Chains A and B, each alone.
Chain A
């Protein structure tokens, strides 16, 4: 490395109204460098890259590109300078096709000035083939799963021949296989001397793909180090300024209680085949499965979002007939959706309204009027418990950092105070410290007799909190892990193993 910086930030500051989000940040990156940007939820990572991209204007400081002072007045300017960004909240156009999205702004035209669709299709197809990604390139992006959308966003940056690529939590919805593809793409970009900024809350990824790491805390740049010279432990304490354990926090070896929820022979059109299981009252039950295993869909069936083709769900021995989520809630089941932006938040409503929306009926008097004070007290309790960073309760949720939005969604579910809580990918985008807090809260809930069903593809997460983990593979139950079987290495081994049933 070494040589000329591609980008340098000098004393960059940013505040939104009274809220100082970035304070005197000095940062530089050279071509071909892969830099990790770490920090707690709300530390200012996304804000920093939005300044680099020209989305936000800094309130102080200077930006240098190739050593020349540059003002990035809007995103267009950033793109012109060769800066491509994959935002935390993907900004593809859902109604356009994959190809149209990738070539947006750099459309290939034939000699008549018309779009040369064949050429564009060919190029895109070649790219995805080269990456070993199967992709329907004429599908509308909005109809693709989030992971594929992520792949499209990366392809777009590559086609635009960026000199620097910034990725804001690209991995939060990817499976291991897709992660490999992502690494491959990053290495390719590195070879082409593209500078990369990589934001993630998963530290193992930093060791896998990054050369250097920069840590932000509360808007202050704490340190920049070589990845090879910093331990995981150091990274965490620099990030959150306190020590936390990353071991299993559920200390129960065995757990027994009456069954509260049982599912019998759940089938769903190719995705789920005769899945049966029982969950006990007060248990933390994990459903583990990669994308395509049917785990996410199973979570949705339990909450009445999609109907199963056949099978029976019973809560406390009573069969449930759910037509929609409202019915599930009436049977005391609540749910945290897996796609925060599409299914979770109401961007224009306040954080408070977002958090109480499912439980709002509990805060009305018999004339139907809202008890504003009660709402506010309940909400503030969760703000404190989760450490949700907000400027005020009236702040629109879209102005919160991604991780803080997710915390508000979990608060929403806990506020609805149901006996059974289903969480689909519960800690997507949440920092290491807050993860620990959320797990502790879930554990508390379980101790109070609430039943937790956590759907996830992260083994680590489930191993830390679950009493029992059910692994799904290709829509079938592979194995249920209890007691000493709950070990990361064992489960990881099984996840990759061939075969339909554990032998």
Chain B
């Protein structure tokens, strides 16, 4: 059939107009620039460090992409991470629990926080932005209350394996886990009805409802999934730090949203791709790693971060406007 041929032509013709393309160019340019400026940048060691440092963010960006595709947002992931971290690390230390139990605790707590988000958004009708900001404060507050503000240290060695271990002595376990999560998400995205329904809700919620999608229960699932991914990210992060801290993830909501939007997912909902959020997350990672190597202070890094978010959302908005 001739439509097949058209397909091919269309794809070839417009690949450079593809939303993800600009991001990839930026990513490659950054790598080139930093490797020219500093010899320390493009070394096996440093690349692995970047991957390790950003595994939690990559995982987080997966869940965030789905949330943003529905037209929502989750700004509670920072607080959620703190709560997961504290609960898990305290229980693990107290009862000397194995790795799998520590991870499960995080997943369950994260999922529960996600469920509360979903409940507030769908059943109470609170806008996602406000519901999750509120939840962020609640979760972090709970984390501080539970640990009494103390650092949970003296963790058993097993707790640190996922975050600090290496396969063959070079590849961080955390990066392998993150890769697996990305693959799972890509498969869900490309091959399930769940994903099509997610895009549909973000594109036109009323039409989705009329097409027989149970929009409310679907949205709840999306936030629970976000919470669960957040739990996993929390465990990996805590394991890398080797201690449980109620202050973790204060920038996480910000970073995850930035990574997602950098990857071309429109904040208006209805479009986006998880694999591109990976590039988004790595761009953030590369910039900080590069700036740190170049001895740029963290205050300046803060400014850079804000500018990146504004820029990427700005580009997204302009692009949306053009397409009308």
Contact = CB atoms under 8 A, between A and B. Distances in A.
Given A337-B207, A342-B206, A394 B10 contact: yes
A364 B192 CA distance: 7
Interface of A: 17-18, 303, 305, 324-326, 328-329, 334-335, 337, 342-349, 353, 357-358, 360-361, 363-364, 368-370, 372, 380, 390-395, 412, 416
5 contacts: A18-B9, A346-B207, A346-B208, A369-B191, A392-B3
B200 A357 contact: yes
Nearest to B195: A370
B225 to A, nearest CB: 14
B210 to A, nearest CB: 5
A79 to B, nearest CB: 16
Nearest to B199: A349
A357 B196 contact: yes
A445 B175 CA distance: 54
B295 to A, nearest CB: 44
Contact of B7 (A303, A324, A361, A393): A393
A391 to B, nearest CB: 6
Contacts of A412: 211
B196 A360 contact: yes
A326 B1 contact: no
B206 A390 contact: no
Range for the number of chain B residues in contact with chain A: 20 to 34
B212 A391 contact: no
A103 B6 CA distance: 44
Given A326-B213, A360-B193, A346 B10 contact: no
Given A364-B193, A368-B194, A369-B191, A346 B199 contact: yes
A368 B204 contact: no
Interface string B223-247: 0000000000000000000000000
A305 B215 CA distance: 13
Main secondary structure of the interface of B (DSSP, over half): helix
B319 interface: no
Contacts of B197: 357, 360
Given A346-B207, A392-B3, A394-B7, A368 B214 contact: no
A305 B191 contact: no
B203 interface: yes
A303 B209 CA distance: 11
A416 B212 CA distance: 10
B200 A337 contact: no
Contacts of A357: 196-197, 200, 208, 211, 213
B207 A345 contact: yes
B200 A349 contact: yes
Contacts of B194: 368
A199 to B, nearest CB: 20
B303 interface: no
Given A343-B206, A391-B10, A329 B212 contact: yes
B271 interface: yes
Nearest to B269: A348
A346 B270 contact: yes
Interface in B226-277: 270-271
